[in-house]
Structure 1
Protein backbone atom coordinates (compact mmCIF):
# COMPACT_ATOMS: atom_id res chain seq x y z
CA UNK A 1 0.00 0.00 0.00
CA UNK A 2 1.78 3.16 -1.14
CA UNK A 3 1.65 6.24 1.00
CA UNK A 4 -0.18 9.23 -0.28
CA UNK A 5 0.94 12.82 -0.19
CA UNK A 6 -0.51 13.46 3.26
CA UNK A 7 0.96 10.25 4.65
CA UNK A 8 4.45 11.36 3.65
CA UNK A 9 3.84 14.78 5.18
CA UNK A 10 2.61 13.17 8.42
CA UNK A 11 5.70 10.96 8.62
CA UNK A 12 7.94 13.96 7.99
CA UNK A 13 6.25 16.00 10.70
CA UNK A 14 6.46 13.12 13.19
CA UNK A 15 10.19 12.66 12.51
CA UNK A 16 10.85 16.40 12.86
CA UNK A 17 8.76 16.59 16.05
CA UNK A 18 10.53 13.61 17.60
CA UNK A 19 13.96 15.00 16.69
CA UNK A 20 13.06 18.39 18.16
CA UNK A 21 11.82 16.95 21.44
CA UNK A 22 14.88 14.71 21.69
CA UNK A 23 17.22 17.66 21.07
CA UNK A 24 15.38 19.70 23.70
CA UNK A 25 15.73 16.94 26.30
CA UNK A 26 19.44 16.52 25.54
CA UNK A 27 20.12 20.25 25.85
CA UNK A 28 18.05 20.49 29.05
CA UNK A 29 20.03 17.66 30.65
CA UNK A 30 23.32 19.23 29.58
CA UNK A 31 22.38 22.61 31.04
CA UNK A 32 21.17 20.95 34.24
CA UNK A 33 24.46 19.05 34.65
CA UNK A 34 26.47 22.26 34.22
CA UNK A 35 24.21 24.01 36.75
CA UNK A 36 24.67 21.21 39.29
CA UNK A 37 28.44 21.32 38.81
CA UNK A 38 28.43 25.10 39.26
CA UNK A 39 26.40 24.76 42.45
CA UNK A 40 28.83 22.16 43.80
CA UNK A 41 31.79 24.46 43.09
CA UNK A 42 30.01 27.38 44.76
CA UNK A 43 29.24 25.23 47.79
CA UNK A 44 32.86 24.06 48.06
CA UNK A 45 34.03 27.68 47.88
CA UNK A 46 31.56 28.69 50.59
CA UNK A 47 32.62 25.80 52.86
CA UNK A 48 36.34 26.50 52.37
CA UNK A 49 35.90 30.11 53.48
CA UNK A 50 34.98 29.22 57.07
CA UNK A 51 37.57 29.36 59.83
CA UNK A 52 39.88 31.68 61.70
CA UNK A 53 42.54 33.50 59.76
CA UNK A 54 45.56 35.45 60.90
CA UNK A 55 45.66 39.12 60.08
CA UNK A 56 48.37 39.72 57.48
CA UNK A 57 50.52 42.81 57.23
CA UNK A 58 50.52 42.61 53.43
CA UNK A 59 48.68 45.32 51.58
CA UNK A 60 47.26 44.67 48.15
Structure 2
Protein backbone atom coordinates (compact mmCIF):
# COMPACT_ATOMS: atom_id res chain seq x y z
CA UNK A 1 0.00 0.00 0.00
CA UNK A 2 1.46 3.33 -1.08
CA UNK A 3 0.44 6.16 1.24
CA UNK A 4 1.15 9.71 0.07
CA UNK A 5 1.76 12.55 2.46
CA UNK A 6 -0.18 15.77 2.17
CA UNK A 7 2.05 17.71 4.60
CA UNK A 8 5.43 19.17 3.69
CA UNK A 9 8.22 19.85 6.17
CA UNK A 10 11.29 22.08 6.13
CA UNK A 11 13.56 19.11 5.40
CA UNK A 12 11.48 18.32 2.30
CA UNK A 13 11.77 21.90 1.08
CA UNK A 14 15.51 21.76 1.68
CA UNK A 15 15.80 18.64 -0.49
CA UNK A 16 13.64 20.13 -3.26
CA UNK A 17 15.29 23.56 -3.43
CA UNK A 18 18.83 22.71 -2.34
CA UNK A 19 18.74 25.62 0.10
CA UNK A 20 19.38 25.66 3.85
CA UNK A 21 17.04 24.48 6.60
CA UNK A 22 16.76 28.07 7.81
CA UNK A 23 15.55 29.18 4.36
CA UNK A 24 13.07 26.29 4.35
CA UNK A 25 11.62 27.37 7.70
CA UNK A 26 11.26 30.90 6.32
CA UNK A 27 9.35 29.55 3.30
CA UNK A 28 6.97 27.67 5.60
CA UNK A 29 6.51 30.83 7.68
CA UNK A 30 5.67 32.85 4.54
CA UNK A 31 3.17 30.24 3.36
CA UNK A 32 1.49 30.21 6.78
CA UNK A 33 1.26 34.01 6.69
CA UNK A 34 -0.25 34.03 3.18
CA UNK A 35 -2.76 31.30 4.01
CA UNK A 36 -3.58 32.90 7.39
CA UNK A 37 -2.58 29.84 9.38
CA UNK A 38 -1.41 29.92 12.97
CA UNK A 39 2.06 28.89 14.10
CA UNK A 40 2.14 25.12 14.38
CA UNK A 41 -0.47 24.44 11.71
CA UNK A 42 0.67 22.21 8.88
CA UNK A 43 1.53 23.39 5.37
CA UNK A 44 0.26 21.12 2.62
CA UNK A 45 2.06 19.99 -0.51
CA UNK A 46 -0.56 21.82 -2.59
CA UNK A 47 0.08 25.10 -0.73
CA UNK A 48 3.84 24.77 -1.21
CA UNK A 49 3.39 23.93 -4.91
CA UNK A 50 1.20 26.98 -5.44
CA UNK A 51 3.66 29.20 -3.55
CA UNK A 52 6.78 27.95 -5.32
CA UNK A 53 5.33 27.47 -8.79
CA UNK A 54 6.58 23.89 -8.90
CA UNK A 55 3.92 21.43 -10.14
CA UNK A 56 2.41 19.38 -7.31
CA UNK A 57 3.27 16.14 -9.10
CA UNK A 58 6.98 17.04 -9.11
CA UNK A 59 6.90 17.98 -5.44
CA UNK A 60 5.21 14.67 -4.63
CA UNK A 61 8.00 12.79 -6.43
CA UNK A 62 10.48 14.10 -3.83
CA UNK A 63 8.30 12.87 -0.98
CA UNK A 64 8.25 9.24 -2.07
Normalization by structure 2: what TM-score?
Answer: 0.27
Rg larger for: 1
Query: Whose strand proportion is higher, 1 or 2?
Result: 2
The structure with higher relative contact order (CA 8 Å, sep 6+) is: 2
Query: Whose helix proportion is higher, 1 or 2?
Result: 1
Normalization by structure 1: what TM-score?
Answer: 0.29
